[in-house]
Chains A and B, each alone.
Chain A
């Protein structure tokens, strides 16, 4: 029975969108596309003109539900849902799911079914968030908690003072008042001695004081910590960061899932990895492809990485190891290494893409390095996105730090970084008993130093938030490929089993983020090139 009054629905569309505190902003997107403002405030994007239709479909769904309620939760277990903010789409997919028998192939039940089954069976009996898990604090952690509560009274004050001083110091640096800044550095070093630097604010403050010192004493052109470090060192640190906390595992896992789905039905597939490192991401994909119903495709992997200074060909060595793995699971495999010290030096012809193959371009924390600031040149990001677009890959997977570390004002970047990295360090602390933690911390510390003490081409860590990447990628001719409930569920389950309590996966309009206690720290998204009716594929450069 319809309870709704459609006449009063118009009351919703223009009111309720919140205004921001700055005056010179364009009208909020909800007004631009005639999206119901009140529902937007609740997290749903529905056009006012579509409200009636959505309502009718909800009614139909309810009727269908009424006749077989037990099927409904089964439906939930089997169906893969995408982008819940888009209510019209969600309701439609549920309707078609429910209206068709499960064996019918529907684009909503996409994915590597076999692989999924194996994964699901392994975890079928795992309990989420069992009460035991929640109280499963080791005695080490308990005593640390006790220590923390005892020290809190004194430390809270010192901690807050440290933060105040850090902000003041950063402000001095921005204004160019270096004498005051250096005296603040001295004061802060003194205060640090009285604060617990093993964990909490003391630990991250120490790194920020260090980064500010570098900026003041060495200047911004001096270069990043990376400057002297070898490729080898970077790879070791990366590997430890991979092991110690779930961020990179989440990145690999989520993007592999999306790539697997994109490759469905293709016999020749080609993955282009923008940063091969130790190739940690690929064994899982190779194994998943091996288990594909109908057999694995021919897999080509092109790994991009910096050249090895000592005459070794580390890219090739990794390729050989991956080839051995592929052979052991009967996946036809070919590897090509592309040595380049900067991603912008890579040209599409180096990748030797075959027009018949399905291509996946995979970028884990690389795109932000292309946002460099030379005003005389075209930004490298535009060049690179343009050739990716022309390549017309089946999928472009992008993982980026969820932070706003590329703002023009130094103080804004500093503040944001303080927030971001203290959250990240906090999350690392919770992963007890990991020997990799110390080196993982150095990995993170290098990022901090780069964000805080470098400028110009030396500042490679130009993280931008998901919202900005969305605009950039849409503007460069890509459309989003939503990551679905299946990937979300598997990521959540992985976290529950292998990580500390406190990490959370969230769905954000088709993208997935991993964060610590409700603050997202890393975001994964997938994209496809929009093909215009008239354009033909041309090879750039």
Chain B
């Protein structure tokens, strides 16, 4: 039951920093958060076959996204005008990625997420669009979902992202932690509005509920995460006065809606065995199954949160393989 030393240092550092940022009164030290967050700029010069550029999707909300594309052999150095050149393959998956951070931390240009998105490009032979959604507590529910929805509409309407086979954009939604939660809710909106999403990928998605579950009590404070901080983030994201049975937090709870009969995308859900909220994540999987939806669960017994950030453990490689297969199965 160990994690590699550098992973431990990384995640402990985050835990420490995050403790500095959350105030007991529910406010957040945003300046210090931005100061401490390690960011990387977009890079139109391919590194390991991937280049990136930032696009302002919505001026009104300053909604930025970072787009990652594979560099092709013929055009090793894309210039300014060619960043939005049409994709050329028959089928090109477009993965819309929502970074984690419990709705309050991180950005699309955070180093850890930039690295992860770059990996996804090669893994899925996809274009990745990482959405810099508005964060809590300054922007509560439903801002993050609204931004996700805006990004989805934007991606769906880009001619240059259409696959040659059917002149449609082949969209997947992916996210970790709060990003996983956003994936679910944006997919719901997509289904209601007739935009096709081919698949949902949820890595350690952030769900919860009012009751205390067995895993929460057993693992509280044991592997970097405490119940207290989970509660803080929900209070920061959910509308004031709401509790954790709000449907945003607990989609299959007392205030949730049934997905029976709805055309919901197939889902790949990754749960870490040392994550204290796993009971909620497993309940989510059950909820999908009960509603007759296609879902594959990957339960990584010995994994802690954040295991997918550094490629130094077996769980990492296992789920990367599964993600690759999940996306490739439609090609």
Binding site for B on A (CB under 8 A): 3-6, 8-9, 11-12, 15-16, 18-21, 36, 38-39, 41-44, 46, 51-52, 54-55, 58-59, 61-62, 65, 69-70, 72-73, 75-77, 81, 84-85, 87, 91, 94, 128-131, 134-135, 137, 145, 160, 163-164, 167, 415, 418-419, 485, 488-489, 492-493, 501-502, 504-507, 517-520
Contact = CB atoms under 8 A, between A and B. Distances in A.
B312 A12 contact: yes
Contacts of B80: 163, 167, 415, 418-419
Contacts of B31: 128, 485, 488-489, 492-493
Given A3-B223, A4-B4, A518-B42, A81 B36 contact: yes
Contacts of A488: 31, 34-35
Contact of A501 (B62, B139, B312): B62
A59 B312 CA distance: 22
A51 B312 CA distance: 15
A42 B34 contact: no
Contact of B54 (A81, A129, A517): A517
B40 interface: yes
B61 A134 contact: yes
Given A73-B23, A518-B41, A520-B41, 12 more contacts: A21-B45, A41-B115, A42-B309, A51-B6, A55-B12, A59-B12, A84-B38, A160-B81, A485-B32, A485-B35, A489-B32, A493-B31
A15 B4 CA distance: 14
Contacts of A501: 62
9 contacts: A8-B2, A38-B311, A41-B310, A73-B23, A167-B79, A167-B81, A489-B31, A493-B31, A518-B42
Given A4-B4, A42-B111, A520-B41, A73 B310 contact: no
Contact of B21 (A43, A73, A517): A73
Given A58-B16, A73-B21, A43 B111 contact: yes
Contacts of A517: 54, 56, 62, 64
Interface string B1-41: 11111111110110110011111100001111011101111
B9 A39 contact: yes
Contacts of A85: 38
Interface in B95-121: 109-112, 115
Interface size class of B (residues with CB under 8 A): 35 or more
Contacts of B111: 41-43
B48 interface: yes
Contacts of A84: 35-36, 38
B24 A73 contact: yes
B46 interface: yes
A8 B312 contact: yes
Given A65-B19, A506-B34, A518-B42, A415 B79 contact: yes
Contacts of B132: 518
Interface in B60-100: 60-62, 64, 66, 71, 76, 79-81, 84
Contacts of A51: 5-6, 9
A198 to B, nearest CB: 16
Contacts of B195: none
Contacts, number: 194
Contacts of A160: 81, 84
B222 to A, nearest CB: 8
A81 B35 contact: yes
A170 to B, nearest CB: 10
Given A4-B4, A415-B80, A62 B12 contact: yes
Q: Which of A39, A46, A163, A502 has the most CB of B within 10 A?
A: A39
A518 B10 contact: no
Q: Which of B4, B61, B66, B304 has the most CB of A within 10 A?
A: B4
B112 A43 contact: yes
Given A21-B76, A518-B41, A87 B13 contact: yes
A21 B46 contact: yes
A5 B2 contact: yes
A6 B23 CA distance: 33
Q: Which of A52, A72, A518 has the most CB of B within 10 A?
A: A518
B47 interface: yes
A12 B313 CA distance: 10
Nearest to A39: B6
Contacts of B109: 518
Closest 5 CB pairs of A and B: A43-B38, A9-B5, A43-B111, A4-B8, A5-B2
A8 B7 CA distance: 10
Contacts of B30: 128-129
B139 to A, nearest CB: 6
Contacts of B257: none
